[in-house]
């Protein structure tokens, strides 16, 4: 699997542009291992490599490369329904290594897309666990995991209860996630 990841990273390097690298550097502080691959190209790679399954997702994550981790999240989005429990297990495992908002939001909102309806209780359980973390990215992930439920009136009280835990959080990216959820509550259904 390590050789396959090396080949994928090489392919990414061939797709990289200075413009994309500058954009990641500007908009995603903390993404130190970025190559400079655009999101449309990462989405195409997710289609191409989704057959690698959960083993490839895990190997891509371990590489530590920003775009490889984004690709891991995008592949999870495509294959998550094949094994929702494994999807949520990997998201929890990966949460310890998150170092920027883009990876956090990809894992929290995109990677869970296919399991949100069928595994609502498990997603909320994971959120309740992560919201008490000392790691700011795990707290943000706890909130982002709930974003897909904000238009469901039956979920609002549970979401607000989880948000209550971090209502006075000092971290910028946690505050931004709270604002995001509150904005979504106000959108017309």
Q: pLDDT digit string (tens) for 38-68?
A: 999 999 999 999 999 999 999 999 999 999 9
161 pLDDT above the threshold of 80 = yes
* Class in CATH terms, 116-189: mainly alpha
- Better pLDDT: 70 or 29: 70
Cα end-to-end span (Å), the chain = 44
- pTM of the predicted model as reported, rounded to 2 decimal places: 0.94
pLDDT, residue 31, reads 75
Radius of gyration for the chain, computed over Cα atoms and rounded to the nearest angstrom: 16
Q: pLDDT-based confidence at 189, cuts 50/70/90?
A: low
In angstroms, how far is CA 41 from the centroid of its own chain?
A: 17
| Nearby residues of 26 by Cβ (< 8 Å), 6 or more positions away | none
Q: What is the mean pLDDT of the chain?
A: 96
Question: Rounded mean pLDDT of 18-28?
Answer: 92
pLDDT, residue 62, reads 96
187 pLDDT above the threshold of 90 = no
Residue/partner pairs of 118-122 with CB below 8 Å, 24 or more apart? 118/81, 118/84, 119/84, 119/85, 119/88, 120/149, 120/155, 122/84, 122/85, 122/88
Domain coordinates in residue numbering, the chain:
1-99, 116-189
Q: pLDDT-based confidence at 30, cuts 50/70/90?
A: confident
Count CB-CB contacts under 10 A for residue 63: 18
Residue 134 has what DSSP assignment? S
188 pLDDT above the threshold of 80 = no
Q: pLDDT-based confidence at 89, cuts 50/70/90?
A: very high
Q: pLDDT-based confidence at 167, cuts 50/70/90?
A: very high
1 pLDDT above the threshold of 80 = no
pLDDT, residue 77, reads 97
């Amino acid at each position: 699997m390590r050789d396959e990841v090396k080949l994928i990273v090489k392919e990414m390097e061939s797709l990289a542009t200075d413009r994309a690298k500058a954009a990641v550097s500007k908009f995603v502080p903390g993404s130190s291992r970025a190559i400079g691959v655009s999101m449309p190209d990462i989405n195409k790679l997710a289609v191409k490599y989704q057959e690698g399954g959960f083993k490839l997702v895990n190997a891509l994550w371990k590489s530590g490369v920003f775009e490889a981790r984004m690709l891991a999240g995008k592949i999870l989005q495509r294959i998550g329904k094949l094994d929702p429990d494994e999807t949520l297990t990997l998201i929890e495992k990966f949460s310890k290594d998150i170092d920027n908002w883009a990876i956090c939001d990809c894992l929290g909102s995109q990677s869970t897309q296919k399991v949100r309806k069928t595994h609502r209780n498990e997603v909320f359980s994971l959120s309740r666990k992560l919201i008490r973390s000392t790691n700011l990215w795990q707290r943000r992930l706890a909130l982002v995991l709930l974003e897909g439920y904000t238009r469901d009136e039956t979920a609002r009280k549970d979401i607000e209860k989880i948000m209550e835990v971090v209502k006075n959080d000092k971290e910028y990216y946690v505050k931004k996630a709270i604002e995001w959820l509150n904005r979504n509550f106000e959108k017309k259904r």
